Structures are given as structure tokens and as C-alpha cells.
Structure 1
Amino acid sequence: MKILSLCQYPIIQAPMAGGITTPELVAAVSNAGGLGSLAAPLLAPLEIIEQAEHIRRLTDKPFAINLFVQTKPQIDYAAVAAAKLLLQPVLAELNMDELPTPTRWSQDFEEQLDALIIARPAVASFTFDVLHASQIQRLHAAGILVIGTATNLPEAIVWQAMGADALCLQGVEAGGHRGTFIGAQEESTLGALALLAQCQPHIRLPMILAGGIMDGGQIAAALAAGAQAVQMGTAFLTVKESGIGAAYKQRLFDAKTDSTRQTRAISGRLARGLDNKFMDLMAAVQAQIPIYPIQNALTSGIRAQAGKSNNTELMSLWAGQGVAKVRDLTVSELIAALVAEWHS
């Protein structure tokens, strides 16, 4: 597997958007023998280039950059007004009088892709949709390997047909956003190992397993089942180099069991996170909210305000089902522990 030749261990740090995957985190993972991943979906094109250069100042090892594949959203302002009304109970909790209408709903994907090619990471990973074969050819021409995300077999088959170099199979246990782009998000319900088993007869590409993997024993199980590598997100949320705030980190440390669930309420796309009041207040109306990125842009002000006041009940606390196993370590300590557990 070309991608695995880039790192010492078959451990890929999952890209987690919103400032979590700092250049320091990405570089530390690559320096420790894994493959660090910069989450760039919310970054402007120039920021992608700047953060890639920052990573290169911290490591001479390969790293990945991740983007959401998305088209420019069509804004229905009547639907936006209705969505704002649905969010009133959340605003009331924060004593916010009004929710401003965003001036930007999302970054331009084509411009981000151009910036990624200028930045030239060793690997580019993509989720939310599939690239065209011509886009994959552009990346290959720049010397960039491509990882596609699949949550079901049809998605894996499409990525293979388009020319991806590897597949990240995202089980339902995974924290954060579901990568589903074929069929309803709610219907892609297979766990990581079951998804791997379903894909094995049909997929020739190297497969990377993601979803609830938190320790070396689970790495060993994934590799024994036929995966070539694992992708781990929640395990890296609580390392010293992570960009999450102290209140969010404490909620993760306090989780003694799987206290996560999936919701559309916060971003408009199904995502798994720690149970909180935001999910509860919106549970009855989440089928009515606009899709990503419209809801995500609308709630950004709410989440920012909640963050300022350390109100974790109204933040997005993305985490996977293995959250009770998070550790208070540096990146190098965590990877050393994972490798020791895997080898034992």
C-alpha cells in the first residue's frame, strides 16, 4: 500500500474540522510514526496553504489534508428564516436575541482543491461525496495520493471506479460527520468490521478502518480482519496537541461509557457526538432543518457563543463510541502506547 509506505505504523489520525487538528497535532502524529491529517474543510484556500507550510516547519514527514466534497449551496431564504425559528429554544438558553444570517455559507470547494494541490501534501482525503476521475488525475499529476471515504458498499465501488488509491471505511461508531453520499445517511448503519467484511469481496483497494478504534487491541483486530490501516479520531481529541477547548476536553474525560448519539440538529448532516442539551432541544424538529452547510453556518454563532462561556451543553462535542477510553497523553506517548498494545 503506497500510503502505508509513508509512515512507520498503520495509524492515520482522523481529520477533525473546527480547529482540532492544529499543525502541531498533525506534525506530532507524523513525527511519531503515524500519518497526521489536517482537516481543511472550513479553511479558506490561503489558510490551507499557510497551515501546510506551518506543518512543514514542524516535520519533514508526510502528512495528509482533508476536504469535504461539496457544491455551492442554493440558499432558500424563506427556509433559512424557518430554520432560525426552530433554533429559538437554543438561543433562549444563551440569552441571544437574534441569529445573524451568515455572509458565507461554506468555502468554495474548487478553490480549496486548487489550494490543496499548491500545498502538495503526500495524501489528500475526501468525504461527503466522490471526486470526478479528472480531479483525481489532477491530484495524481501533482504526486498526491487519494483516500476516499465510504460508509456503504456502493460508495466504496464508486471511489474504486474513479481511481482512488485507498478507501477509508467509516463505521457507524465513528465520531463526527457521516461521510454518506449514496442513499440516506440514516441507512448506512454498518459497524466498521461489518462494513469491511461486506466490501472485501468487491474492493481491490487498500482499506483503512475507522470507527470507535481506541487502543492497540482494536488495531490488531482491524488488521487481522483484513484492513491495511486504521484511522483514529476520538483517541486524538484529548492529546496535549489537540486544538479543542478545556471544557470540551473535560467532558470527554468525564465520559465513563458510550454517551454519544447521532444528530442532524447541529450541522444539517448526521454526526455523532456526546449527548447534550442542544441535541435534546432540537430532537423533535431535526427532520425540518436545512441540510449541511446551511444549518452548520446558522449554528456557528451559537456554538461560538457557547464556547466563550464554556457551555458544553450548547456546543458540538463530536466524539465516537469509544469515548470512554480517551487518555491524557501527548501524541508521542499515545502512539507509543498504541503500538505497544498492538504488538502485545
Structure 2
Amino acid sequence: MFSWPDRRILDLFGIDLPIIQAPMAGSSTAEMAAAVSAAGGLGSMPAALLSPDQLREAVGTIRAATNRSFNLNFFCHQPPADDLARDLAWRAALAPYYVELGLDPAAIPTGGGRAPFNDAYCQVVEETAPAVVSFHFGLPSPSLVERVKVAGAKVIASATTVAEAVWLAERDCDAIIAMGSEAGGHRGSFLGLDMAGQVGTFALVPQVVDAVDIPVIAAGGIADGRGVAAALMLGASAVQVGTAYLFSPEAKLAPGHREALENARDDNTAITNVFTGRPARGVANRLVKEQGPLSPNAPAFPNAAFAVAPLRVAAPADFGNAWSGQAARLAAHLPAGELTRRLAEEALALLAP
């Protein structure tokens, strides 16, 4: 019977299928992660919007449902310095929307809301011992990475260029997520934020494979078995799938997000910073079109998000961040576990001699 051409990720993570569910903060759930892991893939639980105690509770939910490997994901951005001029410019740009929606423009909130990986989160990793820990926006301090490894977790991180992949490999990552420009959600970029030169998945993956000696996970624009098979043919050891899982009943979507996904096309998403201050791909709505896609006024991540939050609540279709990759229309609308098995079965059928 024909099997997977590259077992490195399967053996490294202790999984059966080279399918990793992307950690999507605000949309992924413990139930989704558990279902993917139980099906033989690697479920992922994002921590960016959770407190350490909430993360402990999520891990408990996963462990109650399955004894299979799972991934905990963390942001590792640097909290931005105060920039009053930029904050004022952003508030001025959004004020007319507040007036239009009957909100008080004098009460526009400021702040952030997404915590980077720190000692408190690391303690959760040490207590819960997940099989995998993934990082977005580079890596935390070497001392924190070492603690994660001592806890027994494999460390993986996202790269959007070959240079970022090499940087991560030189710092002892166990595998690299090669994140193409097609991917939904926040770009994993950390050596530079110039979006003009972002690389597509199927150009990036083989170049990263050639540049590093550790397994590569392809991410971006993969929503069916054809994408899985193509990524593996280009040298990836596994794939990370995000948007396709947002159609599963285990997803938890903000108001308007599901409708935006249903209407997502190959050409109506954009990489924008107007929702959080950091480039991320989502369905282009009114805020993206009128203030972006990339606004010089948007405060640095994550501070732009607070001022947008009341608008998102009042008019989610116009102001909500509906993260989506470019291949949303290819996604089968299935429960997370069933989707995981379907992706693997379709890919194996295409790869078999």
C-alpha cells in the first residue's frame, strides 16, 4: 500500500497524517484542535487571545477528547513603543465612522490586547507538555525557547522568505512553516514587513526546502487534496491548512465572518494592516478599501485593533476582520476531523504511482 513520501514530520510529531490545522486566534477552538488530532493530524490551539488560565482550560478540553499530539501556538512580537502622533492620526481617520454609526468619537479606545510569549505562557507549556509549540513573528528569547525544548516540545515557526527560514533553522527550530502570500490571517514576517515582495507558497516552499536541512511545512492557499499533493511534490514534509477549517462546525467565527468566507473569491482578499496594525490577509471590506489596504496611520501591532473594535461590533460587515486565504472557494464544508481525513485521502490518491 502506498504511503507518505516523507515521514519526517509524522515521526517528529507522532502523528499519522501530514496535515496541520493552522492556529487561528479567535476562530480556532479546543474542539477543533482535538478533532484534528484525533483524526491523525496535528490540531493547534492559538494562545494569542487567551490568558494563561484560559489556555490551561483549553488544553484540558483537548486532553479530555484525545490523547494524540497537539500544538500550542504563540505570538512573539515586541510590544510597540508609544507613538502619540500615529495614535492621533488613526483616531482622526476613524472618527467619521464613529459619527456615522452613532458612536462617540471622543471615546475611541486605545491599547492592544495580544500578549507575546512570556514566562507565564512558558509555565503553561512546562505544565502541560504539548508535543509541539509553534511561534509566529519569529522566536522568543533563547532562554524561553530552551525551556520549551526542555519541556519536551518540538519547536516550529513561520517564515515568509528564505532568509527568515534560514534564520529560524540557525536557531534550532525543529521544522519550518513556509508561509506563502496566499495564506489568510497575519503574515509571519519578522525580518521585514515590506509586503510588496511577499512570495507565493509554491515558489517559496522548494526554495526553503533547498535552503534548510530540517522538515518544511507548506502553508498558504492549500484547501484541498490537490494542494496537499502539490506541496509534498515540491518537497514539503507536511502542510498547514487554515481557511478550510473555518467552515467546520468546530470553528468559532465573529459576526459577519462566515458570510464573508462564503463570498470569498480568489481576487477579493487583501493583505492589510487596518485591523491590528500588522499585515494580515482577509476579505476586503469597507475599512480595507477606504483606509488601506496598508495604512501608514495604523498604529503598530496590536494597538490598531482597539480603536477598530467598537466599529466591528456596530457594523461587522464593513469593519470586521474576516481573515481568509485566497483558496477559500476550494474548501469542503466538513467537520474538522472529517476534513483532515479527506485532505489526506485525496492527496494520497494523487500521489500514488
Q: 1:123 to 1:314 in 2, by over 3 A?
A: same
Q: Distance in 2 between matches of 1:285 and 1:335?
A: 34
Q: Distance in 2 between matches of 1:30 and 1:93?
A: 46
Select 2:115's aligned residue among 104, 107, 128: 107
In structure 1, list runs of 5 or more residues that go unmatched: none
Quick check: 176-185 or 75-84, which moved more? 75-84
Q: Does 1:149 align with 2:151?
A: no
Q: Distance in 2 between matches of 1:285 and 1:67?
A: 24
Q: Does 1:235 align with 2:241?
A: no
Q: Does 1:11 align with 2:39?
A: no
| 1:303 CA displacement | 2.3
Q: Deviations over 1:269-314 (max 9, x none)?
A: 11111121111121288122211011123323332343xxxx3222
What SS does the corresponding residue of 2:218 show, helix, strand or coil? strand
Q: Distance in 2 between matches of 1:3 and 1:342?
A: 16
RMSD: 2.0
**Conserved? CA contact 1:3–1:123, under 8 Å:** no
Q: Distance in 2 between matches of 1:37 and 1:177?
A: 16
| 1:91 CA displacement | 2.4
| 1:197 CA displacement | 2.2
Q: Distance in 2 between matches of 1:93 and 1:323?
A: 32
Q: 1:304 to 1:52 in 2, by over 3 A?
A: farther
Q: Distance in 2 between matches of 1:264 and 1:54?
A: 33
Q: Distance in 2 between matches of 1:39 and 1:313?
A: 26
2:95 alignment partner in structure 1: 88
Q: How many residues align?
A: 339
Task: Report the TM-score, using the length of structure 1 for normalisation.
Answer: 0.92
Q: 1:326 to 1:95 in 2, by over 3 A?
A: farther
Q: Does 1:79 align with 2:82?
A: no
1:268 alignment partner in structure 2: 277
Letter in 2 for 1:253: E
**Conserved? CA contact 2:72–2:134, under 8 Å:** yes
Q: Does 1:43 align with 2:58?
A: no
In structure 2, list runs of 5 or more residues that go unmatched: 1-6
**Conserved? CA contact 1:265–1:279, under 8 Å:** yes
Task: Report the TM-score, using the length of structure 2 for normalisation.
Answer: 0.90
1:326 alignment partner in structure 2: 331
Select 1:281's aligned residue among 290, 295, 306: 290
Q: Distance in 2 between matches of 1:194 and 1:103?
A: 37
**Conserved? CA contact 1:21–1:38, under 8 Å:** yes
Select 2:322's aligned residue among 314, 317, 320: 317
Letter in 2 for 1:302: L
Q: Distance in 1 between matches of 2:176 and 2:236?
A: 10
Select 2:139's aligned residue among 105, 118, 130: 130
Identity %: 36
Q: Deviations over 1:301-335 (max 9, x none)?
A: 332343xxxx3222100000101123321112212
| 1:267 CA displacement | 1.1
Q: Does 1:29 align with 2:25?
A: no
What SS does the corresponding residue of 2:211 show, helix, strand or coil? coil
**Conserved? CA contact 1:263–1:270, under 8 Å:** yes
What SS does the corresponding residue of 1:181 show, helix, strand or coil? coil
**Conserved? CA contact 2:8–2:215, under 8 Å:** no
Letter in 2 for 1:327: A
